[in-house]
Amino acid sequence: MQMNVNDHSLHVQEVGTGQPIILLHSLGTSSALWAQQINDLADRYRLVTIDFRGHGQSEISRTPVTIELLASDVVAVLDRIGIERFVLAGISLGGMVAQVIAARLGERVERLVLMDTSLAPLSRTMWIERAALVRSNGLAPLASDIAARWQNPTSEQSPAARAALESLLATPDEGYAGGCDALALADCTGLAPNITSKTTIAVGALDKATPPALAQDLAGAITGADLVILPDCAHLPMIDRPDLVTDLLERTG
């Protein structure tokens, strides 16, 4: 369904009943990234996905994008649909947004799952340059290289990998560039001490975009956080091992 939130039309999907699990996607994808997990868990949980501004079926932002702005969108959606307490899971960009939400909402976030994300970007300059490149030349010339980092390079291209690439190619240039802007500015270092939710941090062993060392730093910054290394997985583990991602959400649900 489309929902007007903070003066923007956002696409929100709700499936199933039970304990709410909120799923936040990565840069250049959409809610469809979680399709297998939704299929696996909808008989036991109330699953909510939200397309970030400029992604999926959501409107391109008319104001500069930050992770704080995206977090405000998510919280507004949850308040609108009456979800008070929930499990929150986010990957990559979605993981940074999830950190902001967890720090803001405290006990409303019963459990937190942060996947292939970090306290701050590996390179701010890279995101600034990528945003400029996409705005000048478009996203299409970069799409293959971006998608190649999402999965284990030794894996055959799966339906999930093809679907992720299709989502990337369908992302408007300005939607993607706006996400780059958000990542260039992102810094959750000061928020980590305020996160009190039971937290699991997971990272693909082969992730080059947000390497395991960054996940270790994140785990060290959040009191009591558990760190899980996902074998044979790159930046988007739901492409390489969707079963591991489903199990991770199930264990923390």
- Return the closest-CA partner of residue 61 out of 167, 182, 142: 182
Average pLDDT, whole number, for the chain? Answer: 96
Burial of 211 (0-12, 13-18, 19+ CB in 10 A): middle
Sign (positive or negative) of CA dihedral 244, 161, 120, 69: negative
In the chain, the number of structural domains is: 1
Q: What pLDDT, on a 0 to 100 scale, did the predictor assign at position 201?
A: 98
Q: What is the pLDDT of residues 168-219, one digit of tens each?
A: 999 999 999 999 999 999 999 999 999 999 999 999 999 999 999 999 999 9
Flag whether pLDDT at 253 surpasses 70. no
Flag whether pLDDT at 247 surpasses 80. yes
219: β partners: none
CA distance linking residue 20 with residue 146, whole number of Å = 31
- Residue 160 pLDDT level (bands cut at 50, 70, 90): confident
∠ CA 178-191-12, nearest 5°, is 45
Q: Any idea which residue has 């000048």 for tokens? A: 136
- Residue 224 pLDDT level (bands cut at 50, 70, 90): very high
- Return the closest-CA partner of residue 17 out of 114, 64, 108, 83: 83
- Residue 252 pLDDT level (bands cut at 50, 70, 90): low
- Return the closest-CA partner of residue 89 out of 216, 248, 228: 248
Give every strand in the sheet of 2-5, ordered side by side.
2-5, 8-15, 45-50, 19-24, 86-91, 109-115, 198-204, 226-230
- Listing DSSP states for 13-51 in one string gives EEE--SEEEEEE--TT--GGGGHHHHHHHTTTEEEEEEP
- Residue 154 pLDDT level (bands cut at 50, 70, 90): confident
SS3 of residue 206 by DSSP: coil
Q: What pLDDT, on a 0 to 100 scale, did the predictor assign at position 191?
A: 96
- Residues 54 and 178 sit within 8 Å (Cβ to Cβ): yes
Query: Can you give the residue range of the structural domain that contains 241?
Result: 2-252
Question: Is the pTM higher than 0.85?
Answer: yes
- Residues 184 and 217 sit within 8 Å (Cβ to Cβ): no
Burial of 53 (0-12, 13-18, 19+ CB in 10 A): buried
∠ CA 190-195-197, nearest 5°, is 165
Flag whether pLDDT at 12 surpasses 70. yes
Q: What is the pLDDT of residues 116-153, one digit of tens each?
A: 999 999 899 999 999 999 999 999 999 999 999 999 98
- CATH code (residue 161): 3.40.50.1820
Flag whether pLDDT at 155 surpasses 80. no
Q: What is the pLDDT of residues 75-113, one digit of tens each?
A: 999 999 999 999 999 999 999 999 999 999 999 999 999
4: β partners: 9
Q: What is the pLDDT of residues 45-79, one digit of tens each?
A: 999 999 999 999 999 999 999 999 999 999 999 99
